[in-house]
Amino acid sequence: MVEYKDGADFLSPDPIETQVLQGSQDSEGVELMVKKNNDRLTGWVSYTLSRSMVLINGLYEEQKVNGGVPYPSNFDRPHSFNLVANYRISRRLSFSSNIVYSTGRPVTLPVAAYYAEGRPFLLYSARNAYRIPDYFRIDLSVNLEGNLKFKKVAHSFWMLNVYNLTGRSNAYSVFYEVEDGAINGYQLSVFARPIITLSWNFKFGNYNSN
């Protein structure tokens, strides 16, 4: 693994190789999945338990990250849960739902502020010691088929989708800004409200729907 040093200066004119260190990353976990493929209710559910840790521990203090102690990688999400369910009420009407949950990704946050020679400085936590809020989303879809005559040039169906049904403000990232001498934290969310779409779809050719 290649990681930035503690206190790396992203605006420094020095070569990038002077701002990074090499180390190792270990990942382990287990994934479980159950599927149901018959009857009116079909779908699958999966759960993953995993860890991904990074260790960068050189001979000298300046060659260490996080004091030479292992820390969560940027991809470390211990818990991940997915559920996909489809329910057919009749040959023409069906419902689908999607539930997604995962642990928030690790971040390094400022934990204190201090002044040196009249200049403000931030004191940061250990590398990736905190996490952004967990991710959770529910999607819902309703599918209405047209008539199911066997010999037709094209078959059409309506599809109503609701993305992020609960309107949850899932955090994409967390950042801080200095405003009027105070350090304020903000959360950036994408699609932090339900998104509704309605589409009319065509399938060309003959087919027999079950």
Tell whether the model's pLDDT for residue 120 goes beyond 90.
no
**What tokens does 81 get?**
């849960």
21-35, 63-77, 177-191: segment of lowest average pLDDT: 177-191
**SS3 (DSSP) at 200:** strand
Domain boundaries, the chain: 29-204
Tell whether the model's pLDDT for residue 27 goes beyond 60.
yes
- Would you say 139 and 153 are in contact if contact means Cβ atoms under 8 Å apart? no
- Would you say 168 and 192 are in contact if contact means Cβ atoms under 8 Å apart? yes
- Residue 198 is predicted with a pLDDT of 96
Tell whether the model's pLDDT for residue 73 goes beyond 60.
yes
Give, for 80, the enclosing helix (H) or strand (E).
strand 79-88
What is the maximal distance between C-alpha atoms in the chain?
84
- Residue 201 is predicted with a pLDDT of 85
- Would you say 156 and 200 are in contact if contact means Cβ atoms under 8 Å apart? yes
- Would you say 96 and 141 are in contact if contact means Cβ atoms under 8 Å apart? yes
pLDDT for 177-195, tens place per residue?
A: 777 767 788 888 888 899 9
DSSP β-bridge partners for residue 200: 158
Tell whether the model's pLDDT for residue 209 goes beyond 80.
no
pLDDT for 134-160, tens place per residue?
A: 999 999 999 998 776 666 777 788 999
What b/e readout covers 41-50, taking b as 16+ CB neighbours within 10 angstroms?
Answer: ebbeeeebeb
Average pLDDT over all residues of the chain: 88
- Residue 205 is predicted with a pLDDT of 66
- Residue 148 is predicted with a pLDDT of 65
Contacts of 176 (CB under 8 A, 6+ apart): 109, 110, 183, 184, 185, 186
Quote the CA–CA distance of 184 and 171 in Å, as a whole number: 16
Tell whether the model's pLDDT for residue 207 goes beyond 60.
no
Quote the CA–CA distance of 59 and 21 in Å, as a whole number: 12
pLDDT for 38-64, tens place per residue?
A: 889 999 999 999 999 999 998 888 889
The CA-atom distances, in angstroms, between 124 and each of 8, 56, 112, 118, 169 are 13, 18, 7, 19, 26
**What tokens does 101 get?**
């949950």
**SS3 (DSSP) at 96:** strand
Number of neighbours of residue 157 by Cβ within 10 angstroms: 16
- pLDDT band at residue 16 under the 50/70/90 scheme: confident
Quote the CA–CA distance of 5 and 15 in Å, as a whole number: 13
- Residue 206 is predicted with a pLDDT of 59
